[in-house]
Amino acid sequence: MTGRVAVVGGGLAGFIAYLTLRRGGLGPDEITVFASEPDPAAAWRRRAAAIRQTHMRSESDGHCLPTSFPGLAVRDARQRRSLVPLVRSICDRYHPTVEDFLAHVEELRACSGWTTRVFPARVAHVRAVAGGFELDDQGVFQHVLLATGHPGNAMPEDLGSDSRAVHAYEPHDYAPTVCVVGAGLAAATEWLNALAAGSTVISVRRREPVRRPLNVPRPYLSRRGLSAFHRLPPMRRVGLLRSLLVPSYPPGREWDEPLARAGADGRFRIEPSVNGADQVICATGFLRGYRHDALLRPLVDEHALATTEEWVVLAPDSTVPALTDSTRTLALSGVAAQLAYPAADTLMGARYVAHAFLRRCRTR
């Protein structure tokens, strides 16, 4: 198999890239998607189900369309024949339901020809060759986007062998007493889930969470904020990233009031370490860094790519400078692209990378 463009990874980032390429004028026969399963929302769906997530943290523009507008608020307003979603969106108070988001993904999958372009294979090796990149024995492609997703769930080392411990993103119920390790959105969601199930909840955290609507401050989603970020040398960018990616969850009464009531009743408290609770839920997110990614690790080692701590050094357009030139493109999407876009593991970040990748596919 040979081709012009390949997207390695069939999750939401790969799906957004495919839709963006199609809207940008690339024909379906020019694009091959390598994915282990045909549903682009499969991995996200499983994690959302595990923590009983009901609403998106993102706002109206947290969708898979190639352009920010129209967003999910417009879709919701049309379906409900109501202006309320639009008004809430203008006030930054619109958060689509998980059900609506998944229906949106399914609609796009059905009408985009996605299923016909997905090749059921897991690419294990990328090698730079003249004029492109060889993907295992699948052939050579001129432009390649690696959208490999999160490399796995992060479990604290001291809890790896604890029979009480389960990761938040794995299926679970709630015991009478529950220790929740972590302080981000997944942890906050699990506090409320366990309280609603009748459990007593102990929050174990290393630091106090930041309260903000999105997981990255808004200035770093703007052109001006990104320009300042890109001007920093890689080590300074890493330092800034670490400060931006601290645990956070949104402000609001829907979080504060249940926790305050449970605290007054003696059913919610904060402790510095895991105690003798019946169950330990690790809301500790994902493994971080290219070393944990089975595709990126050998790519970095074999091509001696520049790295800074756990990140591959990227150009502002998310391309790998050492392997990208006037004849070929290698770009990263998703969490691996955070040195190019701090919120790269969001739907907005996937769009940012997809449009940059499209520009190279159209001009090279």
| Mean pLDDT, range 237-250, rounded to an integer | 93
Percentage above 90 pLDDT, the chain: 80
Specify if 167 maps to a domain: yes
- For residue 70, the model assigns a pLDDT of 78
| Model confidence at 163: pLDDT above 80 | yes
Let me know whether 278 and 291 are in one domain: no
Dihedral through CA 214, CA 351, CA 339, CA 358, nearest 10? -170
Mean pLDDT across the stretch 249-268? Answer: 96
**1 pLDDT exceeds 60?**
no
Lowest mean pLDDT among 20-24, 47-51, 90-94, 140-144: 90-94
What is the secondary structure of 147-191 as a DSSP string? ------B---GGGTT-TTEEETTS-----SEEEEE--SHHHHHHH
Q: Across the chain, how many H-helices and E-strands are there? A: 12, 16
97 belongs to a structural domain: yes
- Is pLDDT of 323 > 60? yes
Provide the domain count of the chain: 2
Say yes or no: 293 and 277 in one domain.
no
Residues 198-217 have pLDDT tens digits of 999 999 998 899 999 888 98
pLDDT, residue 17, reads 98
Residue 44 lies in a domain: yes
> CA angle, 151 as apex, 150 and 153 as ends, to 5°?
85
Amino acid at 10: G
Q: How many CB atoms lie within 10 A of CB 286?
A: 17
Q: Which of 108, 252, 281, 264 lies closest to 194 in space, CA to CA? A: 281
- The pLDDT of residue 81 is 80
pTM score, whole prediction: 0.93
What is the C-alpha to C-alpha distance for residues 328 and 303, in angstroms, rounded to an integer?
A: 15
Identity of the residue numbered 112: S
Greater pLDDT, 81 or 234:
234
Q: Are residues 323 and 259 in the same domain?
A: no
Q: What is the pLDDT of residues 26-69, one digit of tens each?
A: 988 999 999 999 999 999 999 999 999 998 888 767 889 898 77
Of the candidates 285, 330, 342, the residue with the CA atom closest to the CA atom of residue 145: 330
Q: Is 299 helix (H, G, I), strand (E, B) or coil?
A: helix
Does residue 272 fall inside a structural domain? yes
Last residue of a domain, one of 256, 282, 308: 282
Average pLDDT value for the chain? 92
Range of the domain at 199: 157-209+247-282
Q: Mean pLDDT, to the nearest integer, of 146-164?
A: 94
Q: What is the model's pLDDT at position 298?
A: 97
**SS3 (DSSP) at 35:** strand
129 with 31, same domain: the answer is yes
Whether 102 maps to a domain, the answer reads yes
**What are 259-305's pLDDT values in tens digits?**
999 999 999 999 999 999 999 999 999 999 999 999 999 999 999 99
For residue 290, the tally of other CB atoms under 10 A from its CB is: 22
Residue 341 lies in a domain: yes
Whether 199 and 81 map to the same domain: the answer is no
Does 8 lie in the same domain as 139? yes
Range in 133-137, 264-268, 359-363 with the lowest mean pLDDT = 359-363
Q: Could you tell me if residue 7 is inside a domain?
A: yes
Task: Kindly state whether residue 34 falls inside one of the protein's structural domains.
Answer: yes
When pLDDT is cut at 50, 70 and 90, the band that residue 223 belongs to is: confident
Mean pLDDT within 177-188: 97
Q: Give me the CATH number covering residue 163.
A: 3.50.50.60
Q: Do 292 and 278 belong together in one domain?
A: no
Q: Which amino acid would we find at residue 88?
A: R
Tell me which residue has tokens 């049309």: 78
Which residue in 72, 86, 14 sits closest to 43, CA to CA? 14
Q: What is the pLDDT of residue 238?
A: 94
Q: pLDDT at position 3, please?
A: 67
* Main-chain phi, psi angles of 236, to 5 degrees: -70, -35
Verify that 7 and 135 share a domain, yes or no: yes
The verdict on 6 and 148 lying in the same domain is: yes
In 29-130 the beta strands, taken as DSSP E runs, fall at: 31-35, 118-120, 126-129
Same domain, 75 and 21: yes
Residue 70: is the preceding peptide bond cis (ω within 30°)?
A: yes
Q: What is the pLDDT of residue 87?
A: 65
Q: Are residues 252 and 166 in the same domain?
A: yes
Amino acid at 43: A
Per-residue model confidence as pLDDT tens digits over 83-119: 777 667 666 677 788 999 999 999 999 999 999 999 9
Residue range 174-182: average pLDDT? 98
CB < 8 Å & 24+ apart, contacts of 314-318: 314/339, 314/340, 315/340, 316/226, 316/230, 316/340, 317/356, 317/357, 317/359, 317/360, 318/344, 318/352, 318/353, 318/356, 318/357
Element (H, E) at 7: strand 3-8
